[in-house]
Copies of this chain bind each other. A is one copy, B any other.
Amino acid sequence: MSKLSMYPITLDGKSVDEKRQEIIAYFNNTFDLFEKVFELLRDESVFYKKSEPTRHPMIFYFGHTATFFINKLINMKIISERINPEFESIFAVGVDEMDWDDMEESRYRWPKVTDVRSYRDKVRTVVNGLIESLEFSLPIRDDSPMWIILMGIEHERIHIETSLVLHRQMPIEFIQKVEDFILCPHAGEVVKNEMLQIKGGFIELGKNKEHHLYGWDNEYGSYSEEIDDFQAAKYLVSNGEFLEFVEAGGYENESYWDEEGLEFLRRSGVKHPHFWVASKDGYKYRALAEIIEMPLNWPVDVNALEAEAFCRYKSQKEGVEYKLPSEAEYAAIYKASGLYDIPELHESRANINFYHYASSCPVDEFGFNGIYDVIGNVWQWSRTPIRGFAGFEVHEAYDDFSTPTFDEKHALILGASWASSGNLIMKHSRYAFRKHFFQNAGFRYVVSENEAKEEDIYESDALVSQYCEFQYGDERFGVENFAVKCADIAAGFADKKIKALDLGCATGRASFELAKYFDAVEGIDFSVRFIGVGSKLKNDGYVAYNVPLEGDITREKKITLQELGYETLKDKVSFWQGDACNLKPNFTGYDLVMATNLIDRLYNPKLFLEDIAKRINRGGILVLTSPYTWQESSTANELWLGGYYDDDGRPIRTIDALRELLQKDFDFVHSEDVEFVIAETARKHQHTVSELSVWKRR
């Protein structure tokens, strides 16, 4: 490897062939660097350890970034063959600690490291082949197949950074030094911080789809805010500056912590920053692969709750309100610093991209127009929760990259760290984490009068809102609620009622309804955007959304667990993200599997139907509903179950194809038509007649 980390490629250029070579170099550099991060694990046994109880063991992440390529390429129909269906299901999801992440790893046996390593090699070969051969044009836009390759690369770059945090959280005896990861050799006494005046003004954020660097969905669109002048700290808060707070009993004084902070203190029991190691000689400092003397002039690593507590402490002490910067204030600091975005910004000018170190460095080492570490060293927590900009749209290949974080609970981190590369070091990138998460993150405080713009927390995803109304909203044209009706019919056919699966559960209504009959109901959907609704309803007791009326005009609506009568049922229901064509092995043992309006939206419905029998108990029931609206955009033509003419010109109907496919394991029991209506506006609706069919497992 000639260079530890390459700079990201641009999307434009003159020659497709040269761009292919750039992408090949960038991809392999990413894959190499990711694997180098795992050289830090002392031996193979460490791959099966977790650095936090709420996270997966390391082996998950080792497989995850490779399966990501294959899963996205399959889902976007760029390739049609899986490399290893089992790996591609168990390594598929579970990064942020969401309710639907499957953390019960005991439910399946993790594979051997050597097998995962050889799987990674196969993925590398496939991806290199695609980069050589995919047709694409310049500039690369988000509808290009090459965008999916870049998405895989940038996804792995994120995991390079987050895996380094996890490894640093591991007990030191599990970690070994890796020569290329250099610890910064400079450390010294605390640097006295001071406040600088920053010019406010009209701040515009966001970028457009023509931008020449890769972006995640949340970066596109537009946002503007008028802010007043404010003051910002010259340096990031150093270990030395934070020590004052710790020594003043900051972790014990509840007045410095808000409710979420107190909950964090209760759960974790911490008394000092996570990477400080208490010893009889005072605090030492946990670097990536070693424990060193406390570098008082390096930035402190804290989560957002600790950063906020420090601000409250300092405000109380000085009688001036200190707070974390807003996203717009950070943009003003960036502007004041005279920084150029990459690739114009040379990597030597900041502690980024592993160029200097694989660790923090003194807070006064990298200055920009008199203000330090505007980018690089450690990320800086912001007081702004991440939200979509005006014009926000999910990318169809990764519709849950951002939307699950638009819950006002995920705070933006700004400015990148020593471990950041790729999209992470771009001016427009926007990452956010729950406030108790650890990253390579610290903070800079500001003194400002700027108020946070208040946003409502109504569901702003039009398709999700449409489904909320479909599943929980008003009846139209006298047609009964579809989810309720299907659940009632299905339950009527089930003899045993221990465990049911609602596959393609969307916003979860039928899952709750099935819980009226079953002891346990699992709702699975491919889209986390949809699962989020059922999950929020279960956990927060309500969901609010906007019903479109006419054009852009909407009406706000709120549904509650109480009104729905689900309060006593909610604990029976759990929601999971999953791919019906490649379900994880643990989803099994059901008395009922209900799949409403699913089969004609799967990329390979036959895979689902061939696999489902083994997950249903003998005597159990499979209920399918579908209007058989086959479409090329969901299912490649040659994989339709029915709705086509065979070679002799005979029409093949889906219901007949289902009988043929299911007869091996099931008896046909019943079928009937069930209508449903989905409102697109107050006046326009989809009005559909699904065929519901009931099959009994022999």
Interface residues of A (CB under 8 A from B): 14-16, 135, 137-139, 141, 210, 477, 549-553, 627-630, 640, 642-645, 651-654, 677, 680-681, 683-691
Contact = CB atoms under 8 A, between A and B. Distances in A.
Contacts of A651: 549, 553
A302 to B, nearest CB: 40
Contacts of A645: 552-553
A629 B138 contact: no
13 contacts: A14-B14, A14-B16, A551-B628, A551-B654, A552-B645, A553-B651, A629-B680, A629-B681, A629-B683, A684-B686, A684-B688, A685-B687, A686-B687
Residue among A643, A687, A691 with most chain B CB within 10 A: A687
Contacts of A552: 630, 643-645
Nearest to A18: B14
Contact of A643 (B14, B477, B550): B550
- Residue among A14, A644, A683, A690 facing the most chain B CB atoms (10 A cut-off): A683
A90 B403 CA distance: 51
Given A137-B137, A137-B138, A138-B138, A653 B550 contact: yes
B551 A644 contact: yes
Contact of A627 (B210, B553, B681, B690): B681
A7 to B, nearest CB: 23
A306 to B, nearest CB: 39
Nearest to A476: B687
A645 B642 CA distance: 45
A686 B677 CA distance: 9
B628 A683 contact: yes
Contacts of A135: 210
Please state the number of chain copies in the assembly: 2
Nearest to A689: B683
Closest 5 CB pairs of A and B: A551-B643, A687-B687, A627-B683, A551-B630, A550-B643
A565 to B, nearest CB: 29
A327 B687 CA distance: 44
Contacts of A629: 680-681, 683-684
A691 to B, nearest CB: 7
A684 B673 CA distance: 12
Contacts of A16: 14
A628 B683 CA distance: 8
Nearest to A555: B651
Contacts of A628: 550-551, 681, 683
A629 B549 CA distance: 9
Contacts of A683: 627-629, 688-691
A300 to B, nearest CB: 43
Contacts of A681: 627-629
A552 B642 CA distance: 9
A44 B684 CA distance: 54
Contacts of A477: 477, 687
A268 to B, nearest CB: 44
A689 B684 CA distance: 6
A18 to B, nearest CB: 10
A87 to B, nearest CB: 33
Given A551-B640, A551-B642, A651-B553, A677 B684 contact: no
A681 B627 CA distance: 9
A630 B691 CA distance: 32
Contact of A550 (B553, B642, B684): B642
Contacts of A139: 137
Contacts of A652: 553
Nearest to A690: B683
Contacts of A653: 550, 553
A628 B550 CA distance: 6
A677 B686 CA distance: 9
Contacts of A686: 684-687
Nearest to A650: B553
Nearest to A653: B550
A553 B687 contact: no
A685 B684 contact: no
Given A549-B651, A551-B640, 16 more contacts: A137-B138, A137-B139, A477-B687, A550-B654, A551-B628, A551-B642, A551-B644, A551-B654, A552-B643, A552-B644, A627-B684, A683-B688, A684-B688, A684-B689, A685-B686, A685-B687
B137 A550 contact: no
A162 B654 CA distance: 50
A134 to B, nearest CB: 12
A16 B138 CA distance: 9
Contacts of A685: 686-688
Contacts of A550: 628, 630, 642-643, 653-654
Contacts of A654: 550-551
Nearest to A12: B137
Contact of A677 (B210, B553, B687): B687
Contact of A644 (B553, B642, B688): B553
Contacts of A15: 14
A9 to B, nearest CB: 16
A642 to B, nearest CB: 6
Contacts of A627: 681, 683-684
Contacts of A141: 137
A534 B524 CA distance: 49
Among A139, A553, A630, A652, max chain B CB count under 10 A is at: A553
A146 to B, nearest CB: 12
A552 B600 CA distance: 13
A653 B682 CA distance: 12
A480 to B, nearest CB: 14
A681 B138 CA distance: 39
